[in-house]
Structure 1
């Protein structure tokens, strides 16, 4: 069943946000701005989760508590469960990067970027299959 027009538009926007956040996270990572890279990777991962849920369910969790989205993702099959695991990891780093007095290190930033990249790839793949 094809995506509804409004869902397709939302998917395109979410996909664009994933790509943009990842691109700038990669630049921040290369420049040694590890907290920034983690924060942007988290934003990419959150948008990837939103994109995946849009494709799967036609809607996504819009609340500020991203942890509530984890339970929704866990119920969305194997890919959703993997995304929930990755998002959980990214969110732990996000809180440290944005709110704690401690800084994230290079390994934290690389891990967050990798998780966000894999989430984005999975979400975009699901979207591409849905629009074929």
Structure 2
């Protein structure tokens, strides 16, 4: 069994030249219409309060906009810890293989926590997503 981590982004807002886990910096967090997969990944791959033992077992990250719509799917290569114990993911967006998930809704619980985990068996595989599919949950 493999878990998939989801990160729900809020609206885009500026941050002060914040260091990214994989190096470099970002000037904003959150989501806004028209962002590229790389911009979404850098806006949402860090810094989260996570249970590291669980997060490190995830190979795939799904980033959702404020309406729970999939806006990025990324392959996770690692996890890094900041001094304040917040965690960030090292990885990159996955192109083509998960394109069927983009724009589809993933129903989550009503928790205000932006992080949620799903068993991979609870989400439709990309090849199971049909033209009329609205939700990715089984």
Per the normalisation by structure 2, the TM-score is 0.26
RCO comparison, higher one (Cα < 8 Å, 6+): 1
Which structure dedicates a bigger proportion of its chain to helix? 1
